[in-house]
Amino acid sequence: MKLEEEWVESFLIVFLALGFIISVLLKSPFYTYVSIFLSGFIGGRVYYIKRYKEPILPFILIIVGFLFGYLLGSLWVSRVVVVLFFALGFMLSYYLHLKKILVIFKSKSFLK
């Protein structure tokens, strides 16, 4: 297996398993919703950072793989609400980065 060619598939499986493990270990609905909101927030940040610099499809596949693994393991909560919280976190993070309310560490806005 060549890691240079198949890194997306490898990371997709790792993040799918990570999402599954996290969601199975969190039995409280509150912690589940908070963690998926924060995961969506991180996903929005990754999407914002990588959107013009690199091909975006591999990162979208990794983010969706994590979400799919999380949905497979979310046994104690509504899967529709999980997707809504993820989308809300994703869109909020992307909007805050787009409007420069949250900035990237290496940007000029960060060093005021």
pLDDT tens for 25-57 read 998 999 999 999 999 999 999 999 999 888 899
Q: Which two tokens stand for residue 5?
A: 């060619």
pTM across the whole model: 0.87
Q: How confident is the model at residue 87 (pLDDT cuts 50, 70, 90)?
A: very high
The two most distant CA atoms of the chain are separated, in Å, by 46
Q: How confident is the model at residue 4 (pLDDT cuts 50, 70, 90)?
A: confident
For residue 95, CA distances in Å to 71, 87, 89, 100 come to 24, 12, 10, 8
Q: Is the dihedral of CA 84, 87, 93, 98 positive or negative?
A: negative
Q: Which residues contact 60 (CB under 8 A, 6 or more apart)?
A: 47
